[in-house]
């Protein structure tokens, strides 16, 4: 049975990326500072407590899931834009895109008594239509509590990124990503994984933050979870990670339904936030041609 690789925060990016490509997952220990852990817990505590259990076996009948974390938490904005994670995500996905975007933000609170989640690949969010050679996602789960075998640490099948679609993982081929609070599990959209069984008396709480290719539809609709009235207050880099920028030359423009007849009818998303794009060339092409 293969095991997961564990890295320190200052580990070379190439070593981490190689483990991610070979095994489909790895852990960076202690990447989140103690201060950020404290602020994140404080900002999310009310949402965790107020979120009801899931309604099916996949989401977890004793698991709370809640999103819109960019709008709800300043600390989560820091996690989303963590420099090391963004650099790794860009490098991991760059063979298939020149721009990445935020796919989802979600608190996953596995409560005592929750059984193991069915093993799956996250890339199935796109219905299995993507060619196998295209990796669509770079995923993270940040540990807000310790992740242990007893409380439901995420189960991963190392090496399953290279398996055929019809091969099913056994328990013997599955390992758990045990890690202390403040650590982060990195995993691809193609690796088989699932939440673990919580046989302890404590909640296992993590923050799932996922990035995907800039030309795909995202799982969480960021324009609704973080609408322009909120997004316009954010840093430009975070706005663009949310999708408030052109995906490519012609992906993502809009027309103001109340502005017919104006010169600039085909507008880049940044206009909805009251600012021009930072890429002046694409802005000029959209607006004046």
Q: What is the pLDDT of residues 260-273, one digit of tens each?
A: 655 668 899 999 99
CATH fit for domain 5-223, picks 2.60.40.10, 3.60.15.10, 2.60.120.620, 3.30.420.40: 2.60.120.620
The segment(s) of the chain belonging to CATH 2.60.120.620 are 5-223
Mean pLDDT taken over the chain: 94
- A 10 A CB-CB count for 94 gives 12
The pair of structure tokens assigned to 66 is 């809640």
φ, ψ at 111 (rounded to 5°): -95, 160
Q: What is the pLDDT of residues 142-170, one digit of tens each?
A: 999 999 999 999 999 999 999 998 899 99
Evaluate if residue 193 carries a pLDDT over 90: yes
Give the pLDDT confidence score for residue 283 in this predicted structure.
52
State the average pLDDT over residues 195-223.
98
């Amino acid at each position: 049975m293969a095991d997961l690789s564990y890295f320190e925060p200052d580990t070379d990016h190439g070593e981490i990326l190689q483990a991610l490509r070979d095994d489909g997952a790895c852990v960076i220990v202690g990447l989140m500072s103690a201060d950020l852990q404290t602020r994140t817990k404080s900002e999310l505590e009310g949402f965790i407590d107020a979120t009801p259990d899931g309604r099916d076996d996949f989401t977890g009948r004793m698991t709370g899931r809640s999103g819109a974390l960019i709008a709800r938490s300043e600390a989560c904005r820091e996690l989303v834009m963590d420099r090391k994670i963004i650099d790794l995500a860009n490098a991991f996905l760059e063979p298939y895109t020149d721009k990445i975007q935020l796919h989802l933000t979600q608190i996953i609170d596995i409560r005592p008594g929750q059984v193991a989640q069915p093993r799956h690949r996250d890339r199935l969010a796109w219905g299995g239509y993507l060619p196998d050679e295209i990796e669509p996602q770079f995923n993270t789960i940040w540990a807000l509590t310790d992740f242990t075998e007893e409380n439901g640490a995420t189960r991963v099948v190392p090496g399953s990124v290279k398996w055929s679609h019809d091969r099913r993982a056994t328990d013997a081929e599955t390992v758990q990503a045990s890690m202390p609070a403040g650590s982060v599990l990195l995993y691809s959209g193609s690796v088989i994984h699932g939440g673990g069984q919580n046989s302890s008396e404590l909640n296992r709480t993590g923050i799932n933050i996922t990035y995907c290719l800039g030309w795909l539809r995202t799982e969480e609709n960021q324009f609704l979870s973080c609408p322009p009235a909120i997004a316009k207050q954010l840093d430009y880099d975070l706005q663009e990670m949310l999708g408030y920028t052109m995906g490519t030359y012609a992906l993502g423009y809009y027309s103001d339904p109340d502005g017919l007849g104006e010169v600039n009818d085909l507008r880049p998303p940044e206009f909805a936030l009251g600012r021009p794009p930072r890429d002046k060339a694409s802005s000029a092409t959209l607006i004046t041609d």
